[in-house]
Amino acid sequence: MNLALFDLDNTLIIGDSDSEWPKFLIKRGILDAEHHARQNDYFYEQYKAGTLDIYEFLDFQLAPLTRFSRSELDTLHAEYMDEHIKHIIPQKARGLLAAHFAQGDEVMIITATNRFITGPIARELGVEHLIAVELEEDDQGNFTGKPSGTPSFQAGKITRLNEWLAARGETLDSYDKVFFYSDSRNDLPLLSIVSNPVAVDADDTLKAHAEAHGWPVITLRD
């Protein structure tokens, strides 16, 4: 059996679910557009440069979740999916997933975006296994605005994947091939240890690295 790992944002979807969520909240009047845009630009430039402080970003990104109950958030998320996500899932992405399913591969999305945002997206894509940033909850099951455990970002993706594998009594060597599809330089740590790294609509740094190392460079844009 093979293992097929997929980044989510700008890989399986044409855009960033982390960015689309606050855009949705701004439309609802929940976030201040000017303040959020300024902060988001600040963090996005760090992300592109590979220098993002993930904990500083999560403090910013998770804060709005604390203002609502889980039931309120679930209602908002359903509207967010319809308005912001479903139309940015390209058919080529669905087709690539379907090809791995048809081969009997184990398929996983592994993303630096949090589970609240990405869980329903993974379900929409038919992907059972998801590694995402986990969120701390209070006694009532509401979000505290803090992450839980190791964030699945950069080398943290390796840590979280190894934890998932260990819980199954496996390692990467348990699989004939391990694919990882990603667009971002931030995923070079994990891309560099799998047997079949694939650059998907890659940023300039990842594209150059992939070409230099003979990795496939593909697009999933329709």
Q: Which residues are catalytic?
A: 7, 9
Under a CB-based contact definition with an 8 Å cutoff, are residues 192 and 56 in contact?
Answer: no
> What is the SS3 assignment for 69-120?
CHHHHHHHHHHHHHHHHHHHCCHHHHHHHHHHHHCCCEEEEEEEEEHHHHHH
Under a CB-based contact definition with an 8 Å cutoff, are residues 222 and 92 in contact?
Answer: yes
* Structural element, H or E, at residue 131: strand 129-137
